[in-house]
Structure 1
Amino acid sequence: MPAYVPKKAWERDGQDKEKWFKRKHAHHHILEKPHREQMEQRYEGIERKKRRERMEYVRQDEETRYYKDVLKQRRSNALIDHLFGTNAVLAALKSNKRKRFGKLYLHSPKDTDKFSEIMELAKELNINVKDSTKQELNILTDNAVHNGIVLETRPMEIETIKSMGSEVTEDNFSVRVLNDIVGDSSTEEIAVNSYGKRFPLGLYLDEISDPHNVGAILRSAYFLGVDFVVFSERNCAPLSPVVAKSSSGAIEFSKLFKVGKPLTFFDESKKNGWVFISTVAPNDSRNKSKQVDTDFISDILQKSPVILVVGSEGTGIRTNLINKSEYLVAVTNGREMNECVDSLNVSVATALLISKILV
């Protein structure tokens, strides 16, 4: 049976399909035209805004890259340090030991008594204060915790010494300062700033490469009453802003020296009456006959000056320096140790030993 197929509307009207639709719906397009024009204008406005934003982003990106390059060049300048943190900056300004200060950069620092003191000292020292962005301070400090305060200054300079001198009392000691230009040395007397009647106690840092450990050692040494600190010139962390921050400013008030020839320093200092005591791990089997306790070191300090030697984080003190030392000392453990935790951090061990010897 034939199927019934109803006629389409344009067939019933006897018109072409395209013409029928144009006649039927032409008014719809006319009504929609203002809306379409409005939408087209809106889209054009959005595209123009996006183009402006893209151009501004490119401009800012180029400006930021240039800005970063300038700041990185300034940060990488070997003649400039950027001290950061409230205590480190305040200590540098109070001690005034550095040769020159540049700008003081600030970004929303907390209004504390220490900050007020920083501003007063900056005014007294005619330091230019500059309001900066957080990004600028992050670049200058390599994203360190700067507390919104960064001080541009010359790096810390310390004297190179040949040996400790023979003139030693409870009130002062002497060092043989090496003149790098003429290769000669001269004697310089330094007052002892320690508590109680005893001879000077110094620290010798042998190849400690972590600046945070160096800073922590300087902080503990200054707090507990160590009279001076000597650095191995090679393979020790430089006295950078990271060290200054980790030391909480103690680097600015401590008596610091560096040594280029450790073995010569040990030999000549021993001839001048100085006693060297190296720190070792409790399980160190080297020179067991030399090992003493901290009470023994306290007794030695009543008779002669002492230098406590501490070594690198991984390998400890070099064997040739241990052999040159008169005695060895260790921080004894208070329990049976697991091999995963068989030693202390060098800064912690140093602080414990100093505390047991002096306090």
Structure 2
Amino acid sequence: MRELEAMGYSHLYGISPIVNALSAGKRDFTEDEVLANPEDPDIPEKAIPTTRLFIQETSVSSSPSSRSTSKSLASSTIKSLCASLSIPMTTTDKGTLNSMSNNRPHQGYVLRTRSLTLPQVPSSSLFAPPSDPTSPKLWVALDEVVDPQNFGAILRSAYFLGSGSSQEVRVLVCGKNSSPPTPVASASSAGAMELMDVMSVRNMPEALGRAKEEGWRVLGASLGGGGEGESRGMGEWDKDVPTVLVMGNEGKGMRNLVERACEGFVMIEGGGEANVEGGGVDSLNVSVTAGILMNYFVGRSN
């Protein structure tokens, strides 16, 4: 598997990521005929470096439940999409799928496909003025968020709260030291990663400076403030002002230059706190924080 991944292939697992990947048209499903048709007939299909859907062998239930009916419909959708894209399908055992997905929940499906890369966009052409009809309601800038599960969870919230394909919420990441768009991130996003156009920039502070020049307000998410900007609770910021919301790294928070680029800082005020014995909770996970703040700034809160 590592050799295949070194050749630029990923193993997507789970129904939603696979359906979305097949229907979104972002991935390249065309194949090199030489690689797809090796001369050695003894090479197993699971080792051939080509796009392929692997389906777990199952027995037919005599009394199908609503859950099995739903999975059957999803299976029909996946197979139909693969057929339309001329993607071969292979039935295999659960152990093989477990190996391909690193023992993560695959729901009986693994799609070997070329890996995604995030397009790197120059800061000068990234942000249109907020009044531009192509501009979203909210930008979310991730400053070195490295955990693929956090990355995927943020994308899931952004897609859900941003009204899906209209992309009222758009996500920006650093070109380096950020989670890549891996199968783990796709699964954590429930397949939203396959549908969203996530942008990457080489220099985040420069990009935030450009955003301010175009008329965007840049706010950093913070536990208790930082930098030179004013720190306020979430409800004290006008949510109708076009905003770039900056989220910091899971352990270190925002880098100094990114923090200085923020005009202010927004806090989520909670009732929990830690004590010297190690009990209690004094902060939220970055993906949870991002979800709460996105919900506020895109106007979905009551």
Query: Which bin holds the TM-score, normalised by the shorter protein?
Result: 0.7 to 0.9
250 and 79 in structure 1: CA distance in 2 versus 1, 3 angstrom threshold: same
1:284-303 correspondence runs (5 A): 284=225, 286-287=227-228, 289-291=230-232, 293-294=234-235, 296-301=237-242
Equivalent AA in structure 1 for residue 127 of structure 2: G
Q: What does residue range 1-359 of structure 1 map to in structure 2 within 5 Å?
A: 71-74=1-4, 76-100=5-29, 102-108=51-57, 111-163=71-123, 164-169=126-131, 171-173=133-135, 192=136, 200-225=137-162, 226-281=168-223, 283-284=224-225, 286-287=227-228, 289-291=230-232, 293-294=234-235, 296-301=237-242, 306-333=243-270, 335=271, 337-339=273-275, 340=279, 341-358=281-298, 359=300
In 2, Cα distance between the equivalents of 1:72 and 1:315? 31
**Alpha-carbon contact 1:72-1:139 (below 8 Å) kept:** no
| 2:57 partner letter | S
Residue aligning to 2:40: none
Encode CA deviations 1:37-92: one digit per residue, 9 max, x unaligned.
xxxxxxxxxxxxxxxxxxxxxxxxxxxxxxxxxx4422x32411110001110110
SS of the residue 2:230 aligns to: helix
Structure 2 spans left out of the alignment, 5+ residues: 31-50, 59-67, 163-167
CA separation in 2, counterparts of 1:154 and 1:240? 11
Query: How far apart, CA to CA, are the structure 1 residues paired with 2:57 and 2:226?
Result: 54
- The residue aligned with 1:25 is none
Q: Note if contact 2:225-2:266 (Cα within 8 Å) is conserved in structure 1.
A: no
The total of aligned residue pairs comes to: 257
Query: Higher mean Cα deviation, 263-272 or 118-127?
Result: 263-272
Task: State which structure, 1 or 2, has the greater radius of gyration over its C-alpha atoms.
Answer: 1
In the TM superposition, structure 1's runs of 4+ consecutive aligned residues that sit over 4 Å from their partners are: none
CA–CA separation in structure 1 for the residues paired with 2:264 and 2:2: 47
Give the distance between the partners of 2:187 and 2:146, measured in 1 at CA: 16
* Residues 27, 114 of structure 2: 8 Å contact kept: yes
| Secondary structure, aligned partner of 2:178 | coil
Q: Is the 8 A contact 1:311 1:318 kept in 2?
A: yes
Q: Is the CA contact (8 Å cut-off) linking 1:84 and 1:151 kept in structure 2?
A: yes
Give secondary structure in 2 for the equivalent of 1:338: coil
Structure with greater proportional helix content? 1
Tell me how far apart the structure 1 counterparts of residues 211 and 117 of structure 2 sit (CA, whole Å): 23
Q: TM-score, normalised by structure 2?
A: 0.79
CA shift for structure 1 position 278: 0.6
Name the structure, 1 or 2, with higher relative contact order (CA <8 Å, separation 6+).
Answer: 2
Kindly indicate whether the alpha-carbon contact (under 8 Å) linking 1:294 and 1:357 is maintained by their aligned counterparts in 2. no
Secondary structure of the residue aligned to 1:299 is: coil
Assess if the C-alpha contact under 8 Å between 1:107 and 1:134 holds in 2. yes
